[in-house]
Amino acid sequence: MTLTQAEKAAVVAIWAKVATQADAIGAESLERLFSSYPQTKTYFPHFDLSQGSVQLRGHGSKVMNAIGEAVKHVDDIRGALAKLSELHAYILRVDPVNFKVSEQRDSSGMKTAITELETTDHSG
Protein backbone atom coordinates (compact mmCIF):
# COMPACT_ATOMS: atom_id res chain seq x y z
CA MET A 1 0.00 0.00 0.00
CA THR A 2 1.39 3.37 -1.00
CA LEU A 3 0.51 6.46 0.98
CA THR A 4 0.15 9.93 -0.45
CA GLN A 5 2.27 12.73 0.98
CA ALA A 6 -0.81 14.01 2.83
CA GLU A 7 -1.44 10.57 4.34
CA LYS A 8 2.21 10.29 5.40
CA ALA A 9 1.99 13.70 7.04
CA ALA A 10 -1.17 12.60 8.86
CA VAL A 11 0.54 9.43 10.12
CA VAL A 12 3.47 11.47 11.44
CA ALA A 13 1.15 14.02 13.08
CA ILE A 14 -0.97 11.34 14.74
CA TRP A 15 2.11 9.46 15.91
CA ALA A 16 3.47 12.65 17.49
CA LYS A 17 0.37 12.68 19.70
CA VAL A 18 0.41 8.95 20.41
CA ALA A 19 4.15 8.95 21.20
CA THR A 20 3.55 11.16 24.23
CA GLN A 21 1.71 8.23 25.83
CA ALA A 22 3.41 5.35 24.01
CA ASP A 23 4.54 3.41 27.07
CA ALA A 24 1.10 3.43 28.67
CA ILE A 25 -0.62 2.57 25.38
CA GLY A 26 1.84 -0.27 24.75
CA ALA A 27 1.31 -1.83 28.18
CA GLU A 28 -2.46 -1.45 27.90
CA SER A 29 -2.42 -3.05 24.45
CA LEU A 30 -0.54 -6.08 25.76
CA GLU A 31 -2.91 -6.38 28.72
CA ARG A 32 -5.86 -6.41 26.31
CA LEU A 33 -4.08 -8.94 24.09
CA PHE A 34 -3.48 -11.35 26.96
CA SER A 35 -7.00 -10.89 28.28
CA SER A 36 -8.71 -11.40 24.92
CA TYR A 37 -6.30 -14.03 23.55
CA PRO A 38 -4.86 -15.92 26.54
CA GLN A 39 -3.04 -18.36 24.23
CA THR A 40 -0.59 -15.56 23.38
CA LYS A 41 0.74 -15.69 26.95
CA THR A 42 2.68 -18.82 25.98
CA TYR A 43 5.22 -16.63 24.17
CA PHE A 44 6.11 -14.94 27.46
CA PRO A 45 6.66 -17.78 29.97
CA HIS A 46 9.32 -15.83 31.86
CA PHE A 47 7.28 -12.60 32.17
CA ASP A 48 5.23 -11.36 35.06
CA LEU A 49 2.03 -10.74 33.08
CA SER A 50 0.12 -9.05 35.87
CA GLN A 51 -1.33 -5.64 35.12
CA GLY A 52 1.29 -2.90 35.32
CA SER A 53 4.27 -5.24 35.75
CA VAL A 54 7.70 -3.91 34.83
CA GLN A 55 8.12 -6.60 32.17
CA LEU A 56 4.74 -5.88 30.61
CA ARG A 57 5.45 -2.15 30.50
CA GLY A 58 8.91 -2.83 29.08
CA HIS A 59 7.68 -5.02 26.26
CA GLY A 60 4.80 -2.66 25.53
CA SER A 61 7.39 0.09 25.19
CA LYS A 62 9.39 -2.04 22.75
CA VAL A 63 6.29 -2.64 20.63
CA MET A 64 5.50 1.06 20.52
CA ASN A 65 9.13 1.91 19.70
CA ALA A 66 8.91 -0.47 16.74
CA ILE A 67 5.77 1.30 15.55
CA GLY A 68 7.63 4.59 15.97
CA GLU A 69 10.44 3.25 13.77
CA ALA A 70 7.86 2.30 11.15
CA VAL A 71 6.51 5.85 11.24
CA LYS A 72 10.03 7.28 10.86
CA HIS A 73 10.61 5.04 7.85
CA VAL A 74 7.13 5.19 6.37
CA ASP A 75 8.56 4.83 2.86
CA ASP A 76 10.37 1.60 3.80
CA ILE A 77 8.53 0.01 6.70
CA ARG A 78 9.46 -3.48 5.55
CA GLY A 79 13.16 -2.60 5.59
CA ALA A 80 12.94 -0.74 8.89
CA LEU A 81 11.35 -3.70 10.64
CA ALA A 82 13.14 -6.53 8.78
CA LYS A 83 15.35 -7.59 11.71
CA LEU A 84 12.43 -7.53 14.10
CA SER A 85 10.36 -9.56 11.66
CA GLU A 86 13.11 -12.15 11.30
CA LEU A 87 13.52 -12.37 15.07
CA HIS A 88 9.83 -13.07 15.61
CA ALA A 89 9.46 -15.42 12.63
CA TYR A 90 12.62 -17.50 12.77
CA ILE A 91 14.03 -17.29 16.28
CA LEU A 92 11.00 -16.76 18.52
CA ARG A 93 8.73 -18.69 16.13
CA VAL A 94 5.67 -16.54 16.74
CA ASP A 95 2.67 -17.80 14.79
CA PRO A 96 1.85 -15.17 12.12
CA VAL A 97 -1.83 -15.38 13.14
CA ASN A 98 -0.89 -13.60 16.35
CA PHE A 99 0.34 -10.60 14.42
CA LYS A 100 -3.10 -10.12 12.89
CA VAL A 101 -4.56 -10.32 16.39
CA SER A 102 -2.01 -7.76 17.61
CA GLU A 103 -2.64 -5.50 14.64
CA GLN A 104 -6.36 -5.41 15.34
CA ARG A 105 -5.79 -4.86 19.06
CA ASP A 106 -3.20 -2.11 18.53
CA SER A 107 -5.38 -0.38 15.98
CA SER A 108 -8.30 -0.34 18.37
CA GLY A 109 -6.18 0.86 21.29
CA MET A 110 -4.56 3.61 19.29
CA LYS A 111 -7.90 4.83 17.95
CA THR A 112 -9.12 5.17 21.52
CA ALA A 113 -5.91 6.90 22.64
CA ILE A 114 -5.97 9.31 19.68
CA THR A 115 -9.59 10.20 20.39
CA GLU A 116 -8.75 10.85 24.04
CA LEU A 117 -5.71 12.95 23.10
CA GLU A 118 -7.71 14.98 20.59
CA THR A 119 -10.48 15.71 23.07
CA THR A 120 -8.01 16.88 25.72
CA ASP A 121 -5.63 18.75 23.37
CA HIS A 122 -6.44 22.42 23.66
CA SER A 123 -3.24 23.69 22.06
CA GLY A 124 -4.76 24.53 18.78
d(C-alpha 59, C-alpha 39), whole Å: 17
Q: Give the model's pLDDT for residue 111.
A: 57
Residue 73 lies in a domain: yes
DSSP H helices in 42-123: 54-72, 77-80, 82-86, 97-120
Mean pLDDT by 10 residues, the chain (124 residues): 87 92 91 89 91 93 91 87 78 69 51 56 48
What is the Cα–Cα distance from 107 to 110, expressed in whole angstroms?
A: 5
Instruction: Specify the number of domains making up the chain.
Output: 1
Residue 50's region, left for phi above 0, alpha for psi from -120 to 50, else beta, is beta
Residue 46 lies in a domain: yes
Q: pLDDT value at position 3?
A: 84
Whether 124 is in a domain gets the answer no
Q: pTM value?
A: 0.71
60, with CB counted inside 10 A (0-12, 13-18, 19+), is buried
C-alpha–C-alpha distance, residues 9 and 5, integer Å:
6
Res 45: pLDDT: 92
CATH number at residue 11: 1.10.490.10
Range of the domain at 84: 5-119
